[in-house]
């Protein structure tokens, strides 16, 4: 049974993963090589406990009780007694392979080792793992990890079912929605779908078919609005599969199918317009700093999470 979780990497995702577990009763060791990352993560956890309370989605335990479950460390040795260790360090294959070699060496025999990678293959990450090769997985969270419910689960080629079932049960216990990815595909499921959507959206933008503002509305006030309560297959069922059959045949030849590099992104990147972190991307984010806009986004997402829990019967 998983009673203590280690999280390697206290960055954008690691902080949120740790937050999800400690606010749901599970002790966490959050490890990072940079003290500053750990200090920032601690401050963000403090901030989000307040924000969740302000948005009337508070936790049953006191802030003090929640913080009592959090251990911060710069030493990977600190996760040696964890039952589950989730690696969420920088997206670099050599680094992940090194971390998994270390975890394979120091962790208890029963420990389950997982990665939160967005794009790398599990079989590549675990290349040198020996002792735990029947207890490795991908557990792919979505940003922000402490609000977006989805976690994609993938077993390794030798992973036993018991490990999968334990991780799945734990994720559901802490309020996440899991899917089982049955075959190893780069980007798993949701990122592939997100990328396919992005390719068509950027193609329409590049062709001048739609403005940035209207492209946003076309997604969040249309399909995105429906996606908030049901997936694509139900939308097809409600639309009529006979209709969708025709539409798919008609439109597939029309939509973007090339592997493209889009000047709408390339030009902005070259100009240093990297998005919120640079105060300008497709849109402008004047003068209040990254945290202001991230928190503004997250307040909306927390309200959406409350509705999601009601509609999907969550906690």
Ligand X SMILES: NC(=O)C1=CN([C@@H]2O[C@H](COP(=O)(O)OP(=O)(O)OC[C@H]3O[C@@H](n4cnc5c(N)ncnc54)[C@H](O)[C@@H]3O)[C@@H](O)[C@H]2O)C=CC1
Q: Which residues are annotated as a binding site for NAD(+)?
A: 9-14, 32, 91, 96, 118, 143, 277
Among residues 13, 112, 205, 302, the one that binds ligand X under rule CB under 6 A: 13
Query: Which partner, ligand L7SNNMKT, ligand X, none, binds residue 40 by CB below 5 to 8 Å per kind?
Result: none
Residue with tokens 């700093």: 289
Give which of 113, 64, 109, 62 is closest to 89, Cα–Cα: 113
How far apart are the C-alpha atoms of 239 and 76, rounded to whole Å?
A: 52
For residues 109 to 148, the per-residue mask of contacts with ligand L7SNNMKT, x marking binding by CB under 6 A and - elsewhere, is ---------x-----------------------xx-----
CB of 190 to ligand L7SNNMKT, least distance (A): 6
Cα–Cα distance list, 253 to 77, 247, 248 (Å):
54, 11, 9
Closer to ligand X by Cβ: residue 236 or 295 = 295
Site membership for ligand X, residue 37 (CB under 6 A)? yes
Spatial contact of 281 and 273, defined as CB atoms under 8 Å apart: yes
Site membership for ligand X, residue 194 (CB under 6 A)? no
What are phi and psi for residue 12, nearest 5 degrees?
Answer: -50, -45
Give which of 6, 12, 46 is closest to 26, Cα–Cα: 6
Closest-by-Cβ residue to ligand L7SNNMKT is 118
Which one-letter DSSP state was computed for residue 106? H
Stretch of 164-172, 188-196, 218-226, 227-235 lying at the interface with ligand L7SNNMKT (CB under 6 A): 188-196
Give which of 192, 68, 94 is closest to 140, Cα–Cα: 192
Site membership for ligand X, residue 11 (CB under 6 A)? yes
CB of 133 to ligand L7SNNMKT, least distance (A): 24
Among residues 73, 97, 191, 279, the one that binds ligand L7SNNMKT under rule CB under 6 A: 191
Among residues 71, 118, 203, 279, the one that binds ligand X under rule CB under 6 A: 118
Sheet holding 150-155, edge to edge: 70-73, 28-31, 5-8, 84-87, 112-115, 136-141, 150-155, 177-181
Binding site for ligand X (CB under 6 A): 8-14, 31-34, 37, 88-91, 95, 99, 116-118, 141, 143
């Amino acid at each position: 049974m998983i009673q203590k979780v280690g999280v390697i990497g206290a960055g954008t995702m690691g902080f949120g993963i740790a937050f999800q577990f400690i606010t749901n009763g599970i002790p966490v060791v959050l490890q990072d090589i940079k003290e500053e990352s750990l200090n920032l993560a601690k401050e963000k956890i403090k901030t989000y406990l307040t924000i969740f309370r302000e948005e009337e989605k508070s936790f049953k335990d006191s802030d003090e009780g929640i913080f009592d479950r959090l251990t911060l460390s710069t030493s990977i040795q600190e996760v040696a007694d964890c039952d589950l260790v989730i690696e969420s360090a920088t997206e670099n294959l050599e680094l992940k392979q090194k971390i998994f070699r270390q975890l394979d060496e120091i962790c208890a025999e029963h420990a389950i080792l997982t990665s939160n990678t967005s794009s790398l293959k599990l079989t590549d990450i675990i290349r040198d793992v020996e002792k735990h090769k029947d207890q490795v997985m991908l557990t792919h969270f979505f940003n922000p990890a402490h609000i977006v419910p989805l976690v994609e689960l993938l077993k390794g080629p030798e992973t036993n079912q018991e490990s999968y079932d334990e991780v799945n049960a734990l994720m559901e216990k802490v309020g996440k929605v899991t899917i089982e990815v049955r075959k190893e595909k780069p980007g798993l499921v949701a990122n592939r779908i997100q990328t396919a959507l992005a390719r068509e959206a950027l193609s329409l933008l590049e062709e001048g078919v739609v403005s940035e503002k209207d492209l946003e509305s076309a997604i969040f006030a249309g399909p995105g609005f429906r996606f908030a309560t049901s997936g694509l297959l139900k939308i097809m069922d409600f639309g009529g599969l006979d209709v969708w059959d025709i539409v798919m045949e008609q439109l597939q030849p029309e939509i973007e199918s090339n592997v493209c590099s889009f000047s709408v992104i390339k030009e902005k990147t070259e100009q240093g317009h990297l998005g919120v972190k640079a105060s300008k991307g497709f849109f402008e984010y004047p003068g209040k700093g990254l945290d202001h806009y991230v928190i503004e986004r997250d307040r909306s997402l927390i309200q959406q999470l409350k509705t999601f829990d009601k509609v999907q019967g969550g906690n």
